Amino acid sequence: MTSPNTSTSFYDFSVKTAADSTLALADLRNQVVLVVNVASKCGFTSQYAGLESIYREYKAQGFTILGFPCNQFGGQEPGSNDEIQQFCSLQYEVSFPIMSKVEVNGDNSAPVYKWLKASAPGILGTEAIKWNFTKFLVGKNGQVLNRYSPQTDPKEISSDIQKALKA
């Protein structure tokens, strides 16, 4: 794996799954991927339903979502990986992959998040993620197509997903 500063593609990274195995993002090559930092006790947690809806709508066309639990915003994801999996399954019937808990900001930020933020800075060019449910849409070529705020409803991303799938 290369460092975030020298990586040129989403596919250069590997991440930990909730089961503590390694997922090489190269395994998702030629898919459109929505990366979201998620939390179980957030005002935006209900977005799990919308995320699951777009996942089910587009997954057969080569689309996936990777949820990365993060406890950096108001302690809104305090659970263990197992507890997070149970919550997602029982409360929202989430079937898209939920990864191992990560940090998305600071010195211990997951390398893939360092790369995502550098590839698609937020408002006024800031790279820091402001809150849970910030979303990054990655195209089939492994490049970030867009960054969406936590307030962006998953359904609002559908047209961008459709365009990316046709590209």
Q: Please give the Cα distance from 62 to 84 (Å, whole number).
A: 25
pLDDT value of residue 25: 97
Which residues touch 90 (CB under 8 Å, ≥6 apart)? none
CATH 3.20.20.80 for domain 10-166, yes or no, is no
pTM of the model: 0.93
Residues noted as catalytic: 42
Q: Which residues pair with 107 in a beta bridge?
A: none
pLDDT of residue 163: 97
Nearest to 102 by CA among 94, 110, 111: 110
Is the pLDDT at 7 greater than 80? The verdict is no
First to last CA, the chain: 27
Q: Mean pLDDT score of the chain, rounded to an integer?
A: 93
User: Which three-class secondary structure state does DSSP give residue 91?
Assistant: helix
What distance in Å separates the CA atoms of residue 71 and residue 58, rounded to the nearest whole number?
A: 29
pLDDT digits (tens, 9 = 90+) for 55-95: 999 999 999 999 999 999 999 999 999 999 999 888 899 99
Residue closest to 154 by CA, chosen among 63, 47, 11: 47
Residues 61 and 165 sit within 8 Å (Cβ to Cβ): yes
Residue 5 pLDDT exceeds 70:
no
Which burial class, exposed, middle or buried, applies to 82 when counting CB atoms under 10 A from its CB (0-12, 13-18, 19+)? exposed
Residue 45, classed as helix, strand or coil, is coil
pLDDT, tens only, 117-159? 999 988 778 788 999 999 999 999 999 999 999 999 999 999 9
* Exposure string for 87-115, b = 16+ CB within 10 A, e = fewer: bbeeebebebbbbbbbbbbeeebbbbbbb
Question: Which pLDDT band holds residue 6 (cuts at 50, 70, 90)?
Answer: low
pLDDT digits (tens, 9 = 90+) for 54-64: 999 999 999 99
Q: What is the pLDDT of residue 1?
A: 43
